[in-house]
Amino acid sequence: ADRSAVRLSFATCFAAARRCGSVVQLPANALAATAGTWVVLALDLPALLRAHAPDLPAGRCALRGFTLSGNLSFARAFTSDEVHSPLRLPPERAGEWPLALPLEPSQVWVDRYGWLWAPCEPAGAQGGDVAQGEDVVAAPTSPS
Protein backbone atom coordinates (compact mmCIF):
# COMPACT_ATOMS: atom_id res chain seq x y z
CA ALA A 1 0.00 0.00 0.00
CA ASP A 2 1.15 3.52 -0.81
CA ARG A 3 1.80 5.20 2.55
CA SER A 4 1.75 8.67 1.00
CA ALA A 5 -1.79 8.30 -0.37
CA VAL A 6 -4.84 9.47 1.52
CA ARG A 7 -8.62 9.44 1.04
CA LEU A 8 -10.99 12.01 2.53
CA SER A 9 -14.40 10.92 3.75
CA PHE A 10 -17.09 13.47 4.72
CA ALA A 11 -20.15 12.28 6.62
CA THR A 12 -22.70 13.68 9.02
CA CYS A 13 -22.32 10.58 11.21
CA PHE A 14 -18.71 11.45 12.13
CA ALA A 15 -18.65 13.22 15.51
CA ALA A 16 -15.05 14.40 15.15
CA ALA A 17 -12.23 14.35 12.65
CA ARG A 18 -9.97 11.32 12.88
CA ARG A 19 -7.68 9.22 10.79
CA CYS A 20 -8.18 5.51 10.20
CA GLY A 21 -5.23 4.20 8.22
CA SER A 22 -5.17 6.03 4.90
CA VAL A 23 -8.68 7.49 5.35
CA VAL A 24 -9.24 10.84 7.03
CA GLN A 25 -12.81 10.95 8.35
CA LEU A 26 -14.24 14.47 8.55
CA PRO A 27 -17.60 15.51 10.05
CA ALA A 28 -19.93 17.24 7.59
CA ASN A 29 -22.58 18.65 9.89
CA ALA A 30 -22.17 22.18 8.53
CA LEU A 31 -22.81 20.86 5.03
CA ALA A 32 -25.96 19.06 6.15
CA ALA A 33 -27.20 22.35 7.62
CA THR A 34 -27.10 23.89 4.11
CA ALA A 35 -29.68 21.45 2.68
CA GLY A 36 -31.50 22.91 -0.30
CA THR A 37 -28.70 25.39 -1.10
CA TRP A 38 -25.80 24.84 -3.47
CA VAL A 39 -22.59 25.22 -1.50
CA VAL A 40 -19.01 25.10 -2.67
CA LEU A 41 -16.85 23.18 -0.21
CA ALA A 42 -13.38 24.60 -0.80
CA LEU A 43 -10.69 22.41 0.70
CA ASP A 44 -7.27 23.71 1.64
CA LEU A 45 -5.69 20.28 1.14
CA PRO A 46 -2.22 21.13 2.51
CA ALA A 47 -3.78 22.50 5.72
CA LEU A 48 -6.14 19.50 6.05
CA LEU A 49 -3.28 17.06 5.62
CA ARG A 50 -1.02 18.94 8.07
CA ALA A 51 -3.82 18.80 10.66
CA HIS A 52 -5.05 15.25 10.12
CA ALA A 53 -2.16 13.35 8.52
CA PRO A 54 1.00 15.07 9.80
CA ASP A 55 3.11 11.94 9.30
CA LEU A 56 2.73 12.11 5.52
CA PRO A 57 5.66 13.65 3.64
CA ALA A 58 5.00 17.34 3.01
CA GLY A 59 4.40 18.07 -0.65
CA ARG A 60 4.59 14.39 -1.58
CA CYS A 61 1.13 13.21 -0.70
CA ALA A 62 -1.44 11.91 -3.17
CA LEU A 63 -5.17 12.43 -2.76
CA ARG A 64 -6.57 9.09 -3.88
CA GLY A 65 -10.20 10.12 -3.60
CA PHE A 66 -12.97 11.42 -1.44
CA THR A 67 -16.41 10.24 -0.43
CA LEU A 68 -19.50 12.01 0.79
CA SER A 69 -22.19 10.44 2.92
CA GLY A 70 -25.35 9.41 1.10
CA ASN A 71 -27.42 12.29 2.44
CA LEU A 72 -25.20 14.96 0.84
CA SER A 73 -25.81 16.00 -2.77
CA PHE A 74 -22.77 16.37 -4.97
CA ALA A 75 -22.30 17.96 -8.39
CA ARG A 76 -18.60 18.06 -9.34
CA ALA A 77 -15.03 18.34 -8.13
CA PHE A 78 -11.83 19.82 -9.45
CA THR A 79 -8.35 20.53 -8.18
CA SER A 80 -6.31 23.65 -8.71
CA ASP A 81 -3.00 25.12 -7.66
CA GLU A 82 -4.77 28.49 -7.54
CA VAL A 83 -6.79 29.65 -4.56
CA HIS A 84 -10.34 30.33 -5.76
CA SER A 85 -13.01 32.56 -4.30
CA PRO A 86 -16.38 33.70 -5.62
CA LEU A 87 -15.36 37.31 -5.01
CA ARG A 88 -12.11 37.09 -6.99
CA LEU A 89 -13.76 36.06 -10.25
CA PRO A 90 -15.06 38.90 -12.43
CA PRO A 91 -18.81 38.41 -13.10
CA GLU A 92 -18.27 38.50 -16.87
CA ARG A 93 -16.03 35.40 -16.56
CA ALA A 94 -18.32 33.42 -14.25
CA GLY A 95 -19.30 30.99 -17.03
CA GLU A 96 -15.62 30.09 -17.59
CA TRP A 97 -15.09 29.08 -13.98
CA PRO A 98 -14.85 25.31 -13.32
CA LEU A 99 -17.63 25.67 -10.72
CA ALA A 100 -19.86 27.88 -12.87
CA LEU A 101 -23.36 27.95 -11.37
CA PRO A 102 -26.42 29.65 -12.88
CA LEU A 103 -26.71 33.32 -12.00
CA GLU A 104 -29.09 36.00 -13.26
CA PRO A 105 -27.43 39.30 -14.26
CA SER A 106 -29.05 41.07 -11.30
CA GLN A 107 -27.88 38.45 -8.75
CA VAL A 108 -24.73 38.45 -6.63
CA TRP A 109 -22.97 35.07 -6.34
CA VAL A 110 -22.53 35.15 -2.55
CA ASP A 111 -26.22 36.02 -2.06
CA ARG A 112 -27.40 32.96 -4.00
CA TYR A 113 -24.82 30.28 -3.16
CA GLY A 114 -22.82 29.24 -0.13
CA TRP A 115 -19.06 28.83 0.20
CA LEU A 116 -17.33 26.96 3.03
CA TRP A 117 -13.58 26.66 3.53
CA ALA A 118 -12.16 23.64 5.30
CA PRO A 119 -10.33 23.85 7.59
CA CYS A 120 -10.18 27.64 7.07
CA GLU A 121 -9.64 30.19 4.32
CA PRO A 122 -6.00 30.16 3.20
CA ALA A 123 -3.94 33.33 3.01
CA GLY A 124 -4.51 35.15 -0.24
CA ALA A 125 -7.99 33.73 -0.85
CA GLN A 126 -9.61 37.18 -0.56
CA GLY A 127 -12.92 35.51 0.06
CA GLY A 128 -14.47 38.42 1.85
CA ASP A 129 -17.85 37.44 3.21
CA VAL A 130 -17.60 33.65 2.85
CA ALA A 131 -18.03 31.22 5.71
CA GLN A 132 -15.11 29.52 7.38
CA GLY A 133 -15.11 25.77 7.81
CA GLU A 134 -14.63 25.68 11.56
CA ASP A 135 -17.88 23.66 11.77
CA VAL A 136 -17.08 21.62 8.67
CA VAL A 137 -13.86 20.08 9.93
CA ALA A 138 -13.26 19.83 13.65
CA ALA A 139 -9.86 19.83 15.29
CA PRO A 140 -8.04 16.53 14.95
CA THR A 141 -8.37 13.89 17.63
CA SER A 142 -5.78 11.29 18.51
CA PRO A 143 -5.08 8.82 15.71
CA SER A 144 -6.65 5.42 16.20
Tens digits of per-residue pLDDT, 4-38? 789 999 988 898 999 998 999 999 888 877 878 88
Which of 4-8, 35-39, 54-58, 73-77 reaches the highest mean pLDDT? 4-8
Whole-prediction pTM value? 0.73
Q: What pLDDT band is residue 88 in, cutting at 50, 70 and 90?
A: low
Residue scoring higher pLDDT (2 or 34): 34
Q: Kindly report which listed range (14-28, 31-45, 75-89, 116-130) carries the lowest average pLDDT score.
A: 116-130
Residue type, 13: C
